[in-house]
Chains A and B, each alone.
Chain A
Amino acid sequence: MSDVTLDKAPVAPKEETPFRRFVSEFMASKIAVGGLLVFSIIVVVALLAPWIAPQNPYDLGQIDIMDGRLEPGEVGGSGITHWLGTDDQGRDMLSGIMYGLRISLTVGAGSALIACLVGASLGLLAAYAGGRTDTVIMRLVDLQLSFPTILAALMILAFLGKGIMNVVIALVIVEWAYYARTVRGSALVERRREYIEAAQCLALPTRRILFRHLLPNCLPPLIVVGTIQVARAIALEATLSFLGLGVPITEPSLGLLIANGYEYMLSGKYWISFYPGVALLVTIVSINLMGDHLRDVLNPRLKK
């Protein structure tokens, strides 16, 4: 019953599973595959950063202020060639970007996952229970969405203080509402279908109906929103760090690296902001490319 959205005639002639069909449809777009490829490379680089980065940019013992603001390609006092230059503290930009990507991806994926769990559960509950529960949850969502995201995140972080965990918490708080609203929308449609009625007639427990019957059928829009929210979360984390509210200064993420270099822009030391900016851009664009195409694949209305 999880193939509701893919009820069209099969494209490929061979043995059909929904997943296989999904994969083949996704692979049909070169752009999406490109996005996936780039994103995979980024993930691998981020995962392997401690082994492949020229230095550990978070270890104050390994960086030297005398190597500060070296141009791309210069060799520092420790003998490392800084292919992307160094920042004002003498941090190798390449290593900084690799480690920064780790933070960005962890924060992005982590906050999106938790927000998705929380938001989707509440959305399902609202749609299924209806009545007062629905009203309370959805008004909460309205309230949440009426704040500008960045403002709400700033307030939460001002209250919680710095730290990666706090950034994740702040992002979850500002993002769960998107998931809740999405899931509720599709769940409202689904719950009037006959299979739910049938399940109810069988007197199945509510939890089972919610998570085994209703949720799987609401997944496609959730996946799309999730992908886009991961990209949004990464951008938001970068923004918060840029504003000095995210990560500690000795463990810069991409946003903080950009902020560090920002002051030197007028002095022509472009690389401190530029390369982390490029890394951030490429990451977000690759995720968005995948997300856009996922939406096309998963949306039955766009099918020919």
Chain B
Amino acid sequence: MSRRFRGLSGEKIMAWKGVALALAGAIGLSAPATAQTLTMAVGAPVTSLDPHFHQLSPNNAVAAMVFDRLVNTDGQARQVPGLAESWSTVAPDTWEFKLRRGVRFHNGNEFTAEDVAFTFRRVPNVPNSPSSFAAFVRPIREVQVVDSHTIRLRTDGPYPLLPQDMTNVYILDRETHENATTEDFNAGRAAVGTGPFRVVSHRLGDRIEFERNDEYFGDKPHWQRVNYRMIVNDSARTAALLAGDVEFIDQVPTADLARLRRDDRLYMSEVTGLRIIYLSLDHPREEASPFVTDNNGQPLPRNPLRDLRVRRALSMAIDRQAIVDRVMEGAATPSGQFFPPGIFSYVPDLPAPRFDAEGARRLLAEAGFPQGFRITLHGPNDRYPNDGRIIQAIGQMWTRIGVRTAVEAQPWTTFVARAGRQEFSAFLIGWGSNPEGSHPLRNLIATFNRDRGWGASNRGRYSNPEVDALLIQALGTINDGEREQILIRAQRMALEDVAIIPLHIQTNIWAMRNHLRHDSRADELTRAQDVKPAR
């Protein structure tokens, strides 16, 4: 009842708000002039306002300000009700979502189950999408609108990950977006959602102006207006914060961390993220690996990286804490697995491998390489924080156990194409995970299989039938507790076999002027609703 009432009298409320604002403006001159306006700068450009166009953190962050999902996520990436108030399986292969009532889009249209059905139809049909959201709706075989606020989704067999997939799909309005193209969104016409902010104006790649949606169903953001700027250059972004041109920045460059932490005009917000940095090794080649040679530069008859002892030696030789302290300036946590503690399917008692150069040398000798060998370690130089520095540091550490390492850093686009063609013997790369063990397992560890869509990012082509079998079992298990145990077993098996060499999990860091506070997010999204005034 009360919701309907508010819907009807929306204009009146707006008018009162206007009066209140004017009064606040007249009286509150002693408060900072920008009390209700937030100016923030992000480090990566937003490429589109179409929430189904490009799977990219900056785009998703803006989408999460303007739109909502059936299942939203909190700062720790846990599922929380969004446009769906609850969800459950009504049959092993059918999920039912109960939708929130009384939600309205920015243009006043009511949100109903038809809008959800429409959204699922649109997602796979966005032309020219550089990285599509289609995978998140592909498991849905049939959409059944039970009533205006209940929807059932049938899948092929039990599919436990559907709520997780739903945390990635932003819901549109059928009436508004029936024929809306990506260009319509980018022009601002179609950027109409249910989210806490509406788009006022914007210039792609430069800035977006938001205004608070006072009808929002959830917690109302503090800010009446938000000026969302994109400053790609790291030093320029830091300088803008220091100069007070902006009040809030993301992606704080690690080189500036020490100094910013000392500055008491600033406040930092940090959380261990979900992005793991790891080394991938050449698994499939039996004979010589392209960048491994003996100490005279001659190809080795067999690929030493197939020997578990060699892989363990290379992992033990890395002083992860030194990399975190010296290269990452503390903005990371050494890790031996995909997730930080507290995330679903975190493997207990699997700490980061202990640094042990002596042990590594012994293992190498056992494996038949007492004099070591030579290897080239590849990596990008413009993708992850300090990527080029990390591979140099690892080059030092491997060289010290007798594996003479050359280091080659390349721009990301060249690098990732070559890595995808299995041209390297060892390389550094990162992975931003969904908080569910099957996600990294399916993409990084599972045997490469194009038809199944498995191993899409398994560029080292690791293959372990036992892990694959466990993964299939997990993906058919609806019960969260049981599934978690299976996923833990699968991860432990792959990681003890050194399928990859995990290095560290990045810390997401935001910096702001001291009058602000921020609810940090493991998923790296920088959103205005998470910023609040101090006190």
Query: Which residues in A have some Cβ–Cβ distance to B below 8 Å?
Result: 59-61, 63-66, 68, 88-90, 162, 244, 248-250, 263-264, 266-268
User: Which B residues are in CB contact (< 8 Å) with A248?
Assistant: 407-409
Nearest-CB distance from A240 to chain B (Å)? 14
> CB within 8 Å of A: which of B211-260?
234-235, 238-239, 253, 255-256, 258-259
Complex partner residue of B255 from A63, A162, A249, A267, CB under 8 angstroms: A267
Q: Tell which of B256, B382, B392, B407 has the most Cβ of chain A within 10 Å.
A: B392
Do A60 and B395 have beta carbons less than 8 Å apart? yes
Q: Which residue of B lies closest to A264 (CB)?
A: B255
Known: A61-B404, A65-B322, A65-B323. A89 touches B238 (CB 8 A): no
CA A266 – CA B389 in complex, angstroms? 19
Do A263 and B235 have beta carbons less than 8 Å apart? yes
Do B407 and A65 have beta carbons less than 8 Å apart? no
Known: A65-B327, A89-B393, A249-B388. A60 touches B259 (CB 8 A): no
User: Which A residues are in CB contact (< 8 Å) with B295?
Assistant: none
Nearest-CB distance from B396 to chain A (Å)? 5
User: Which A residues are in CB contact (< 8 Å) with B258?
Assistant: 267
User: Which A residues are in CB contact (< 8 Å) with B395?
Assistant: 60, 250
Q: Which residue of A lies closest to B407 (CB)?
A: A250
Instruction: Tell me if B406 is interfacial: C-beta within 8 Å of chain A.
Output: yes
Known: A60-B405, A61-B399, A65-B327. A89 touches B392 (CB 8 A): yes
Do B408 and A61 have beta carbons less than 8 Å apart? no
Q: Tell which of B322, B327, B388, B396 has the most Cβ of chain A within 10 Å.
A: B396
Do A64 and B396 have beta carbons less than 8 Å apart? yes
Which 3 A-B pairs give the minimum distances between C-beta atoms? A263-B255, A61-B399, A60-B395
Do A66 and B409 have beta carbons less than 8 Å apart? no
Q: Sample 10 A-B pairs with CB under 8 A, ordered by A number.
A: A60-B392, A60-B395, A65-B326, A65-B393, A88-B326, A89-B392, A249-B407, A263-B255, A266-B259, A267-B256
User: Which B residues are in CB contact (< 8 Å) with A266?
Assistant: 235, 238-239, 255-256, 259
Nearest-CB distance from B500 to chain A (Å)? 22
User: Which A residues are in CB contact (< 8 Å) with B238?
Assistant: 266
Query: Which residues in B have some Cβ–Cβ distance to A below 8 Å?
Result: 234-235, 238-239, 253, 255-256, 258-259, 322-323, 326-327, 381-382, 388-389, 392-393, 395-397, 399-400, 404-410
User: Which A residues are in CB contact (< 8 Å) with B405?
Assistant: 60
Nearest-CB distance from B402 to chain A (Å)? 9
Known: A263-B235, A263-B253, A268-B259. A63 touches B389 (CB 8 A): no
Q: Which residue of B lies closest to A262 (CB)?
A: B235
Do B327 and A88 have beta carbons less than 8 Å apart? yes
CA A162 – CA B253 in complex, angstroms? 26
Do A68 and B407 have beta carbons less than 8 Å apart? no
Nearest-CB distance from B263 to chain A (Å)? 11
CA A212 – CA B130 in complex, angstroms? 62
Nearest-CB distance from B153 to chain A (Å)? 47
User: Which B residues are in CB contact (< 8 Å) with A65?
Assistant: 322-323, 326-327, 393, 396-397
CA A263 – CA B409 in complex, angstroms? 18
> What 6 additional pairs, Cβ within 8 angstroms, besides A60-B392, A61-B400, A250-B392?
A63-B396, A88-B327, A89-B389, A89-B393, A248-B408, A249-B381
User: Which B residues are in CB contact (< 8 Å) with A90?
Assistant: 396
Q: Which residue of B lies closest to A68 (CB)?
A: B326
Do A60 and B399 have beta carbons less than 8 Å apart? yes
CA A250 – CA B396 in complex, angstroms? 10
User: Which B residues are in CB contact (< 8 Å) with A59?
Assistant: 399
CA A68 – CA B258 in complex, angstroms? 15
Nearest-CB distance from A5 to chain B (Å)? 49
User: Which A residues are in CB contact (< 8 Å) with B409?
Assistant: 248-249
CA A59 – CA B397 in complex, angstroms? 12
CA A268 – CA B408 in complex, angstroms? 29
Q: Which residue of B lies closest to A265 (CB)?
A: B235
User: Which B residues are in CB contact (< 8 Å) with A162?
Assistant: 410
CA A17 – CA B408 in complex, angstroms? 54
Do B407 and A66 have beta carbons less than 8 Å apart? no
User: Which B residues are in CB contact (< 8 Å) with A250?
Assistant: 392, 395, 406-407
CA A60 – CA B382 in complex, angstroms? 21
CA A244 – CA B389 in complex, angstroms? 13
CA A88 – CA B391 in complex, angstroms? 13
Q: Which residue of B lies closest to A67 (CB)?
A: B326
User: Which B residues are in CB contact (< 8 Å) with A60?
Assistant: 392, 395-396, 399, 405, 407
Nearest-CB distance from A291 to chain B (Å)? 34
CA A90 – CA B393 in complex, angstroms? 9
User: Which A residues are in CB contact (< 8 Å) with B234?
Assistant: 263
Do A89 and B396 have beta carbons less than 8 Å apart? yes
Q: Which residue of B lies closest to A250 (CB)?
A: B407
Q: Which residue of A lies closest to B409 (CB)?
A: A249
Nearest-CB distance from B385 to chain A (Å)? 11
User: Which A residues are in CB contact (< 8 Å) with B239?
Assistant: 266
CA A244 – CA B397 in complex, angstroms? 24
User: Which B residues are in CB contact (< 8 Å) with A264?
Assistant: 255
User: Which A residues are in CB contact (< 8 Å) with B327?
Assistant: 65, 68, 88
CA A31 – CA B298 in complex, angstroms? 53
Q: Tell which of B239, B259, B326 has the most Cβ of chain A within 10 Å.
A: B326
